[in-house]
Amino acid sequence: MMKYKHEDYINSGFYSDMDSDVENHKEKIVKCRKPHKCAACQGDISIGHHALYETGFMDGKPVSCYTCTPCLDKWIEEGDDV
Ligand SMILES: [Zn+2]
């Protein structure tokens, strides 16, 4: 389940605080059609679950990662405290 609206998760991703290193950084909420590993907690993201999918280029090489919504919820909550 997602606690926040989709747009609230944008810019809260794994690469978001490394924007200077990731070129052409894009992120969007996706519903997984295959199982993925969360880049942050290494937990499994099951089929049908939402995740933040990020892509970009680092040192000229394409990079991508998925982050599970529990991690995003935690980051958003931590961000709210600041
Ligand atoms: Zn996670």
The residue ranges of every structural domain in the chain are 6-81
Distance from the alpha carbon of residue 73 to the mean position of ligand 1, in angstroms? 10
Cα(68) to centroid(ligand 1), Å: 4
Q: Which segments of the chain have a pLDDT < 50?
A: none
Instruction: State pLDDT tens for residues 19-40.
Output: 568 999 999 999 999 999 999 9
33, amino acid identity: R
Q: Ligand 1 centroid to 66 CA: how many Å?
A: 8
pLDDT for 28 = 95
- What integer pLDDT is reported at residue 13 of this predicted model? 83
Separation of 60 CA from ligand 1 center, angstroms? 26
The class level of CATH for 6-81 reads alpha beta
Dihedral angle sign, alpha carbons of residues 54, 59, 60, 62: negative
